[in-house]
Amino acid sequence: MSRNYWLVKSEPDAFSWDEQVVNDVEPWTGVRNHQAKKNLAAMKKGDRAFFYHSNVGREIVGVVEVVKEAYPDPSAESESWVCVDVKAVGPMPRPVTLAEIKASPDLAELALVRQSRLSVVPVSEEHWGILCGMGGWVEK
């Protein structure tokens, strides 16, 4: 299957992986950055994304799947911000920490590392595979 891969960030104090699991499907709202918005808009149904805890934890904790493509963000007060709906696929058997990612030469080009402030970033298929390996994730 051809799908694209992403990584989305959330501060667990605001919205955590546990909440994602409880809610199952959740609109990914609140993106107010044009580049992140571009990435959201490029997501297709069936694409998968790592769920990353920023600030507290700083690790990849799970995998979500896009179940609804970009539509106007209801939490946006104005204009053209968008969100997508994502569904919890499963937790990382072993969370992959930012420290581990930074320690891996193979992941030096990862957008998470290169553009640390961007909350929605693309992940290449190669990087996806590496990170899955590190986290013990088996594609399902």
Partner DNA sequence: GCCAACGTTGGC
Q: Can you give the binding site for DNA, defined by CB under 7 A?
A: 9, 11, 33-35, 54-55, 58, 98-99, 102, 115-119
Q: Which is nearer to DNA, 41 or 98 (CB)?
A: 98
> In angstroms, how far is CA 27 from the centroid of its own chain?
13
CB of residue 1 to DNA, shortest distance in Å: 29
What is the C-alpha separation between 136 and 110, in angstroms, rounded? Answer: 19
Q: Which is nearer to DNA, 3 or 104 (CB)?
A: 104
CB of residue 140 to DNA, shortest distance in Å: 27
57 in the Ramachandran plot: left (φ > 0), alpha (ψ -120 to 50) or beta? left
What is the C-alpha separation between 110 and 100, in angstroms, rounded? Answer: 13
CB of residue 2 to DNA, shortest distance in Å: 28
Q: Which is nearer to DNA, 3 or 29 (CB)?
A: 29
Tokens of 86: 């994502």
